[in-house]
Structure 1
Amino acid sequence: MKGFSDRVETVQEYYFSAKLREVNQLIAEGKPVINLGIGSPDLAPDRMVIDALKSTVEHPRAHGYQNYQGIPELRIAMAEFYAREYRVTLNPTKEILPLMGSKEGIMHLSMAFLNPGDQVLIPDLGYPTYTSVTRLLGAEPLFYSMDLAKKGKPNLEALEKLDLSRVKIMWINYPHMPTGATGSKEILRELVAFAEKHDIVILHDNPYSHILNPEPLSILAIPGAEKVALELNSLSKTFNMPGWRIGMLCGRADWIEAVLKIKSNMDSGMFLGLQKGAVAALSLGKNWFSDLDEQYQNRRKLVWKMGDLLNLTYPKDTSGLFVWCKVPEGKSADELVDYLLYEKNIFITPGRVFGPAGEGYVRISLCMPEFKILEAINRIKS
């Protein structure tokens, strides 16, 4: 064998892929591990969503290849969701592209815009996939800092001092993962102006907009954003459907068309039953979100108690599925993570996974029932 491609050497196995293998091995050995490390919703989708999937399985044409752009009914439901929730008008035929989860969209978008040697602005802290996909394509990540005390405001003043001539795209993410910083209309307006000035494409990754967030925002609602921005969204967190792998890309028709050229050469469309279930989910009203938030609010209060027991500090004015915690001065986040895993059978995530700025922090997920979080608290007390 003549060896693997050079790109294999530019990345490591995704942290959660490797770590969950270890966690699952501990569970197989009989360890009662409570997984507060990942953001995979444990709650079920609405019954109507499951019924839509089940009824479609019996359809005689359900099992064939599906349209690369999804069924019209799904794109219309996505457009109606954006109009209702964000006050954004989208053409369902040209300005919406259903995806097999928004994570695949990160790769498709990057392939559509980047050449080797291009630069990509990536938040530190941020979703690790932004960086790994950038490197896989031979482009160069350029990290920018954010002010978490100001809702995650990017340090654009520092970026203005740099040579941005090779920067092609900029990843942003509000509500922010892992910190829960909410962002704001003002921040999005500044980012749109920044992108216009420097001829940069803004890619807004927006899967947490309806989790513990009373004012869901889309960058596409900002005047001028339709010229410089695309938005990824997902049903995984909002509708408890992470394993269904359903997301969407929204924005400029010509940019969507370019991404479709990539996507259509890599997959053949999602199963019809999943699309019908997504249509049902997207029709759910305010009661769905308020009931979901009530459960997450109760869980978050318990995680705050857990943080207090561990002498962690954390902001409370955040959104999303996680609590972002600073470990005490002079203490090691990795040592705390290992102590909880190997001594208390509790798994949480070290902040360094999300970038150098995460050193000295940990992230705790809300994706566990209250009784499990209470059990974790009792283990720590003991």
Structure 2
Amino acid sequence: MITAAKRLDEVKEYYFSGKLREVRQMIAEGKKVINMGIGSPDLPPSPAVLDAISGSFNDAKAHEYQSYQGLPELREAIASFYANHFGVSLNPVNEILPLMGSKEGIMHISMAFLNEGDKVLIPNPGYPTYTSATKLVGGKPVYYNLSEANDWEPDFEALEQLDLADVKIMWVNYPHMPTGAKGSKVMLQKLVDFAKKHSILLVNDNPYSFVLNTDQLSIFQAEGAKDVALELNSLSKTFNMAGWRVGMVSGNATLIDAVLKVKSNMDSGMFYGIQKGAIAALNSSDEWFSNLNETYNKRRELIFTLADKLGCTYNRNTAGLFVWAKLPAGIEKAEPYVDSILYDKHIFLTPGTVFGSAGEGYVRFSLCASEDVISQAIQRF
């Protein structure tokens, strides 16, 4: 009998993979399920992006294997994007590595820097992939709790009380998913100082800076960050290109080279046309961001109305594609509550526990549904 590798004993199927199968089955049975659980943008990329990919098909090298480091002009566009929007200087030659989505970067970074038994600081609540990637390479997750009382920022006094001797990586994610907490430059500087003190690789996962947010933060705005930090970013949410799988990791040349050693053994470069589309996206005008946020702001106001209908409470001053809300008074468990809404009202929401034990008592609403669809959801209550 052929058995799977023991490393798979340490991880579960991704929550949305299994739950969306159930949702698809309900739809197949004729139930009109409204999916407000997953953050998959339903809006199209800009016409300039679509023109760039379609116009690239007849280029001489369009269908060849591409460089593991991406087109030089893509790395230059990323560097310009960081300079223009974050005020950060990155060398496009050796401090930027394009990725097939930032999710693969989480795995590549874990493979590049973790040995068996190394510990990893992971936010709770936080993105589940930080945990699964850590376990798949033999690392040990060490969770640090975030709380609403502390604006979902790290408690540095509590961090100092942990046994940090074997900690190799610390994952952070601001603007934060799932809570939408924006973070601050003061917090980022504290994180860099903490990482330096304890010789920890600090990785900021930063795909939500431009969604319902006007104060863009990068870990590299903190003094000394390049000595100890990497930053992931993505075009999925900012430019409605989730299915295109375009991301990047930035940092000093030595750290980037380590990630490249993994990546170059895992794929053969991103499709040429997608890179051309990414360049067009990165060169978008300010009008693109303002129009995108106008749409999401209208949707968020309707989500607030839906949350009010349910008796949930929430913070209106957040960033990102989601509304993170506390369950109605008297309801303690998120998963049974979310399932009851799915089966009774045919609306799929995400229980906070998907993101860790500190997510118990919360539910997450996605803004990736049209105003008409959100209005339908409201009417069901």
TM category, shorter:
over 0.9
TM superposition shift of 1:350: 0.5
TM superposition shift of 1:59: 2.2
Query: Does 1:297 find its partner at 2:317?
Result: no
| Distance in 2, Cα, partners of 1:23 & 1:57 | 36
Residue 360 of structure 1 is matched in structure 2 by: 361
Q: Pairwise mapping of residues 126-275 of structure 1 onto structure 2 (< 5 A)?
A: 126-275=126-275
Residue 4 of structure 1 is matched in structure 2 by: 4
| Distance in 2, Cα, partners of 1:65 & 1:259 | 20
| Distance in 1, Cα, partners of 2:74 & 2:48 | 15
Residue 39 of structure 1 is matched in structure 2 by: 39
| Distance in 1, Cα, partners of 2:241 & 2:27 | 24
SS of residue in 2 equivalent to 1:153 = coil
SS of residue in 2 equivalent to 1:56 = coil
Residue 369 of structure 1 is matched in structure 2 by: 370
Residue 107 of structure 1 is matched in structure 2 by: 107
| Distance in 2, Cα, partners of 1:313 & 1:46 | 35
The AA in structure 2 aligned to 1:102 is S
SS of residue in 2 equivalent to 1:57 = coil
TM superposition shift of 1:153: 1.7
| Distance in 2, Cα, partners of 1:190 & 1:145 | 17
SS of residue in 2 equivalent to 1:43 = coil
Residue 80 of structure 1 is matched in structure 2 by: 80
TM superposition shift of 1:179: 0.4
Q: Pairwise mapping of residues 287-326 of structure 1 onto structure 2 (< 5 A)?
A: 287-326=287-326
For this pair of structures, how many residues does the alignment match? 380
| Distance in 2, Cα, partners of 1:2 & 1:343 | 41
Residue 281 of structure 2 is matched in structure 1 by: 281
The AA in structure 2 aligned to 1:116 is E
TM superposition shift of 1:221: 1.4
8 Å Cα contact 1:151/1:184 also seen in 2: no
TM superposition shift of 1:3: 1.8
TM superposition shift of 1:220: 0.7
8 Å Cα contact 1:115/1:137 also seen in 2: yes
SS of residue in 1 equivalent to 2:90 = coil
Residue 337 of structure 1 is matched in structure 2 by: 338
8 Å Cα contact 1:70/1:275 also seen in 2: yes
| Distance in 2, Cα, partners of 1:226 & 1:61 | 34
Residue 118 of structure 1 is matched in structure 2 by: 118
| Distance in 2, Cα, partners of 1:106 & 1:324 | 24
8 Å Cα contact 2:167/2:200 also seen in 1: yes
Residues 335 and 2 of structure 1, relative CA distance in 2, 3 Å threshold: closer
The AA in structure 1 aligned to 2:177 is M
Structure 2: runs of 5+ lacking an equivalent: none
SS of residue in 1 equivalent to 2:380 = helix
Moved more, 226-235 or 19-28: 19-28
What does the per-residue CA deviation read over 1:87-139, in whole Å, with 9 as the maximum and x for residues that have no partner?
A: 11111010000000000000000001100110000000000000011111111
| Distance in 1, Cα, partners of 2:146 & 2:13 | 26
| Distance in 2, Cα, partners of 1:308 & 1:335 | 19
Moved more, 60-69 or 117-126: 60-69
Residue 349 of structure 2 is matched in structure 1 by: 348
| Distance in 1, Cα, partners of 2:25 & 2:101 | 27
Identity of aligned residues (%): 61
| Distance in 2, Cα, partners of 1:27 & 1:230 | 41
| Distance in 1, Cα, partners of 2:346 & 2:57 | 40
Residues 118 and 58 of structure 1, relative CA distance in 2, 3 Å threshold: same
8 Å Cα contact 1:148/1:181 also seen in 2: no
| Distance in 1, Cα, partners of 2:312 & 2:280 | 41
8 Å Cα contact 1:174/1:206 also seen in 2: yes
8 Å Cα contact 1:192/1:224 also seen in 2: yes
What does the per-residue CA deviation read over 1:141-190, in whole Å, with 9 as the maximum and x for residues that have no partner?
A: 00001243443220111111122010000000000000001100010011
TM superposition shift of 1:54: 0.5
